[in-house]
Amino acid sequence: MCGIAGFFGHGTQEDLKRMTNSIAHRGPDGEGAYQDDNSPVFLGHRRLSIVDLEHGQQPMTNTERSVWVTFNGEIYNHRELRHDLETKGYKFNTPNSDTEVLVHGWQEWGEELPLKLNGMFAFCIWDKKRETMFLARDRFGEKPLFWGHQKDLFVFGSEISVFQAHNSFDTAYSQLALKKYFAYAFIPAPFSAFENCYKLKPGHSLTFNVRTQAHKITPYWQFRIEVPASPPSFEEAAEELETLFVQAVKRRLMSDVPLGAFLSGGVDSSSVLAAMCRISPAQSVQSFAIGFTEKSFDESAYAREMAASLGCKHHEEILDLTKARSIIPDVLTQLDEPMADGSLLPTYLLCQFARKHVKVALSGDAGDELFAGYDPFKALQPANVYQQFVPKFMHQAAKSLIDLLPMSNKNMSLDFKLRRVLMGLDHPRPLWLPTWMAPLQTNDICDLFNAPTNAEELYAETLDLWNESPNKSQIDKSLEYFTNFYLPDDILTKVDRASMMNGLEARAVFLDCDLVEFVRRLPCHYKFDGKTTKKVLKKAVSRLVPDTVLNRRKKGFGVPLMTWMKEIPLNAKGADNFQLNSNNIETYISQHLSGQKDYRFFLWNWLVLQKSKASHL
């Protein structure tokens, strides 16, 4: 688990040093650099030592020194791949390094290599003979990978700050990306905050030929729902899923350093912890939870109860407004690119105190996306009925009626849900999900930027995916939205940044390749039958997790932004730097403080943008 950076073209070792220094927090245990003798190729690395502590230094090469790699991540099936490669005649110089598998794997399989890997990864391979730099990112984007190409300079890195660190790479804000940021609360791949700088999309590879300076991007895997003509029965699916889930947990216990698990007390994280306790002695397993002083957001008691029932060693901390204020400067100013999930704060705190005890933590992330666990899945059918039977001319009247309800500070309150659903219904069905979760509506984004835009431009990638398969059900299309956009660009980005800021490795059990391949071929009613979310998952883990957890109403890892954004000092300072209308920002602040409107998400978005690294050009 590390940070990577590098470039081809104009630049020096000093540029590379600044680039790796900018991501030093990702790899506090060591650093390495490589410069090719015959070509202006530079590779840099920062290391967080997890596996093969003694021999895993990077950049790493083969015996002939013809292939080099700088790598961030973990390959959970590296032992099987090593055995396969050894039978083909490859000689390994390290006893247990998953990095060396990439070197010889490239020699054997070339651009097919990423398909062989079960893990989380972002890497760059330099092949001297082929004069090729090959970049790849894991299937869901657990590990970040940015790239940019300007004139005779090709640059890549784990975070966008490496581009600012290179003297010859020009960085300028992308207005379209910033508009999308206020539409989604994150910047969707392939966009980044900067012009000419891009995220390599999950499940994609990039090949750069240093002689021709041409690049090509290739999708090697994409998450799509593909249900066979004869799927397994529900009972058979649940039984197979249990086996695959426990196997996925076991794979992620691969470590030469202490590890534990994040625990919210919900189905996903409780299942992970229970499986760990099935595989290892419970007393050796450590769990970590965050609570809130605001009771409607607090799940710490459930986490405590689950840990006690298993007999593992449990740790918890409580986050209140005072503590949130104190960590905001540390967290937001370390963000390489703005992403406005408010749960970044408790995730950061969770990682910070987990790191005091362990160096690796397993998580339940992706359970909601794969198994339809979010509230919007429950809103789809009522929204369909509303749209069918309520005439358009009555829509504004319904919104005005809901606005008469007092705004609650509680987590997922009824008035909040109703306002959000009606807000989304202003748009066609393919845009319901992103607009239900949007920090700012389309017309407000136009006013904020003093520039015309439309929902089709802001959510173009969402529309493309939705329209790709017209015969799929609304549930399956919604699953594809969450797994292709919200999961990689929000949830996994949040966890990556929060964990890496604290030198902690986080591993998402549900993103195991074998498990995902099985789940994406299950019928949607196995996941959500119109009433029960995560139905097949709950059945699969019923021998691991008590009914009190399986049947409890979902809270989600939300934070009390409604209240916090009334207490945290806000202003419109710096709006001109982003070509934003400061008067609009002041109006949103004023209306939120007075209770006229609920602008919690926009105000948090704005605060994050003000403070993030990318804002300091």
Residue 356 lies in a domain: yes
Same domain for 310 and 251: yes
Exposed, middle or buried, 616 (CB in 10 Å: 0-12/13-18/19+)? exposed
Residue 596: which residues within 8 A CB-CB, separation 6 or more? none
List, in order, residues 6 or more apart from 318 with CB less than 8 Å away.
Answer: 290, 291, 292, 293, 300
- Phi/psi for 110 (5° steps) reads 60, -135
Q: State whether 120 and 240 are in the same domain.
A: no
pLDDT confidence of residue 395: 75
Same domain, 316 and 194: no
Are 366 and 495 in contact by the 8 Å Cβ rule? The answer is no
For the chain, report the end-to-end CA distance as a whole number of angstroms: 28
State the residue range of the domain holding 171: 2-219
Query: How many domains in the chain?
Result: 2
Tokens of 69: 């790699």
pLDDT at 29: 85
Question: Do residues 72 and 200 lie in contact, with contact meaning Cβ atoms separated by under 8 Å?
Answer: no
Q: Is 364 annotated as a binding residue?
A: yes
What pLDDT does 557 receive?
Answer: 66
Report pLDDT digits (tens) over 225-241. Answer: 999 999 999 999 999 99
Q: How confident is the model at residue 83 (pLDDT cuts 50, 70, 90)?
A: very high
Buried/exposed code over 528-565 (b: 16+ C-beta within 10 A; e: otherwise): beeebbbbbbbbbbeebbeeebbeeebbbbbbbbbebb
Q: Which residues of 329-345 are buried (b: 16+ CB within 10 A; e: fewer)?
A: eebbebbbbbbbbbbbb
How far apart are alpha carbons 388 and 76 in whole angstroms?
48
pLDDT tens for 494-520 read 999 999 999 999 999 999 999 999 999
Report pLDDT digits (tens) over 174-188.
Answer: 999 999 999 999 999
Query: Mean pLDDT, to the nearest integer, of 200-229?
Result: 97
**In terms of pLDDT, which residue wins out, 296 or 383?**
383
The reply to whether 310 and 258 lie within a common domain is yes
Q: Are both 20 and 129 inside the same structural domain?
A: yes
Domain with 353 in it: what CATH number? 3.40.50.620
Domain shared by 182 and 282, yes or no:
no
Domain termination residue (choose one: 502, 518, 546)? 546
The band of 616, judged by pLDDT with boundaries at 50, 70 and 90, is low
Other CB atoms within 10 Å distance of the CB of residue 283: 11
Instruction: Look at residue 130 and tell me if it is in a domain.
Output: yes
Judgement on whether residues 313 and 207 belong to the same structural domain of the protein = no
Residue type, 434: P
**From CA 327, how far away is CA 501, in angstroms rounded?**
12
Instruction: Indicate whether 367 and 254 sit together in one domain.
Output: yes
**19 membership: H or E segment, kind and range:** helix 13-22
The residue from 2, 197, 277, 351 that is catalytic is: 2
Tens digits of residue pLDDT in 411-458: 666 667 777 878 888 889 999 999 999 999 999 999 999 999 999 999
Note whether residue 122 is domain-resident.
yes
Q: Which secondary structure element, helix H or strand E, spans residue 148, and what is its range?
A: strand 146-150
CATH of the domain at 149: 3.60.20.10
Helix axes 175-184, 442-449, angle to 10 degrees: 140
Give residue 54's pLDDT band: very low, low, confident or very high (50, 70, 90).
low
- 98: annotated binding-site residue? yes
Instruction: Say what the pTM is.
Output: 0.94
Where a domain ends, among 174, 191, 219?
219
Shared domain for 68 and 209, answered yes or no, is yes
Contact 376, 533 (CB under 8 A): no
- Give residue 258's Cα distance to chain centre: 24
Q: Find the length of the chain.
A: 617
| Digit-coded pLDDT (tens) for 127-165 | 999 999 999 999 999 999 999 999 899 999 999 999 999
Note whether residue 79 is domain-resident.
yes
524 is catalytic: no
- Which pairs from 397-406 meet CB under 8 Å and 24+ separation? 398/422, 399/423
Q: What are the tens digits of pLDDT across the range 569-600?
A: 899 999 999 999 999 999 999 999 998 889 99
CA–CA separation, 13 and 33 (whole Å): 8
pLDDT-derived band of residue 542, with 50, 70 and 90 as boundaries?
very high
In angstroms, rounded to a whole number, what is the distance separating the alpha carbons of residues 58 and 34?
9
Do 358 and 267 lie in a common domain?
A: yes
Q: Quick one: 90 and 199 in the same domain?
A: yes
Range in 121-130, 220-229, 251-260, 539-548 the model is least confident about = 251-260
Type of residue found at 499 = S
Chain-centre distance of CA 106, in angstroms? Answer: 27
Q: Let me know if residue 154 belongs to a domain.
A: yes
292 and 263 in a common domain: yes
Where do the H-state alpha helices sit in 35-127? 78-87, 98-109, 113-116
Residue 555 covered by a domain = no
Whether residue 564 lies inside any domain: the answer is no
In this structure, is residue 407 part of a structural domain? no
Rounded CA-CA distance 140/144 in Å is 10
CA atoms within 13 A on the CB side of 41: 25
Residue type, 512: D
Peptide bond into 144 cis (omega under 30): no
